[in-house]
Structure 1
């Protein structure tokens, strides 16, 4: 997938993510906390958030008094982040190719951070080289990314009910291709960052539980909302709902709910997540 294709994908995806921002923020809070702890962002620092989405890390950075700049390829995400974090500068663009020195003038960045925002580059080495070019000497890079598709029921729980109705049925992403699991291979990820000039690269397993019952209920409706916000769910809604008999779409969603209830943990939708927490330093 080219960067242009990825831009179109995220332009289409933004609405669901923005609509259910509170759900995504809640379930991914352990990931956010891990990134913030590793980055140790402080007052007076300048922070770049790559693939900033609707602004979770930007908000956290500004709360502690840092100057935050976010960049995202999706207009919908940029609009949401700018509205959520008025104190931040939020840019629409491709962090692989854009001139961040021109578009975000100021001193070099003390930290470059990302939560699930760096796995979509067509040329990761070029992208990480571009990001290092605007980082201060000794600046840190901290991000979280997914490990393998097989390790993460996040990608399949509930979505399989919808995927089975689609023709062609969507399959797992190709290894190393731009997408959620592009950096599943630890050695490849270490090599990419080294080739981009980053030093002291550390790729550590981060295993967390995504708790959809954060509101005190079983989390089924919250999980269903996120399923319908991602690619398979959106495709199913677009292709299946118009062709189904009245009431059949609602019945299909009830099948998804039933599937989720069969996989409750202590009465709640809790999904194990297998991630990498990645840190590196700019040696220049």
Structure 2
């Protein structure tokens, strides 16, 4: 997947992400907290949030008094972040090769943060080199990236009925390069160390974080929350676009009921809850 494909994907996914912002804030809260602890943004520091999405980390760093700049390859995501954090500078650019110092003039960055925003580079060494060039000597890096897909049911729970239906009509989906741009591109610790080292970062450390995605955060069973999140993903949008013309609205509604049944079969203490497994990566410029 090229970075242009990544841009198109996140432009298309932006509406679903923004619509479910409160869900993502809730289920990823442990990751956000771990990143803020690892990066420790403070008042007066200049912070760059890479792949800022709709602005969760920007808002948190700004609340601590930091000067915040976000960059996201998806213009609709950048628009959402600007709305959420009016005091932030938010750039709709590709962090892999954009001149960030020119796009957001000011002193070099003291801290680079990212929650699931650095796994999608077509040229990760080039990207991390470019990001380092915008940072001050000794600047800190604190990013979260997924561990393996097998450790993360977020990629599969509730999607099997949709994927099976797509493959029934269109054949097996194309296998993805495990090291290409994608959610688990940085799942291997040795690869992360090598990429960051080649890009000039030092003191690279990876700490595992295991936590629970809790879709029952609002007191519900979380089924509709998880379903809405699924339908906002690439898989969910593909399923809708491919299957509604084939199945009709009634058939599509029946398929979504199958998804709900799958989710209800995996409730934990009465709600949709499942493990999350990420790396909290830290380094120095």
Distance in 1 (CA, whole Å) between partners of 2:95 and 2:3 is 10
Instruction: Quote how far apart the aligned CAs of 1:171 are.
Output: 6.1
1:253 paired with 2:261, answer no
What SS is found at the alignment partner of 2:149? coil
Q: Relative to 1, partners in 2 of residues 1:246 and 1:46: Cα closer, same or farther, differing over 3 Å?
A: closer
Q: Does 1:95 align with 2:91?
A: no
Could you tell me which runs of 5 or more consecutive residues in structure 2 were left unpaired when the two chains were aligned.
none
Q: Deviations over 1:145-191 (max 9, x none)?
A: 00111111110000111000012343663211110000011101110
Contact 1:149–1:172 under 8 Å retained in 2: no
CA contact (8 A) 1:158 1:259 kept: yes
Tell me whether 1:3 sits opposite 2:6 in the alignment: no
Using the alignment, how far apart are the partners of 2:271 and 2:17 within structure 1? 22
Q: Which has the higher helix share?
A: 2
Residues 173 and 181 in structure 1, CA contact (< 8 A), matched pair in contact too:
no
CA distance in 2, matches of 1:78, 1:278: 24
1:159-198 maps to which residues of 2 (within 5 A)?
A: 159-166=159-166, 167-170=170-173, 173-198=176-201
Q: What TM-score does the superposition give when structure 2 sets the normalisation length?
A: 0.97
Task: Give the gaps of 5 or more residues in structure 1.
Answer: none
TM-score of the aligned structures, taking structure 1 as reference length: 0.97
Q: What residue is the counterpart of 2:221 in the other structure?
A: 218
State the secondary structure of the residue aligned to 1:225. Answer: helix
1:243-283 Cα distance to aligned partner (Å, 9 max, x none)? 2134111111110000001111111111101111100001x
Superposition CA RMSD, Å: 1.0
Deviation at 1:33, TM superposition (A): 0.6
Q: What SS does structure 1 have at the residue aligned with 2:276? A: strand
The total of aligned residue pairs comes to 282
Moved more, 171-180 or 154-163: 171-180
Aligned to 2:47: 47
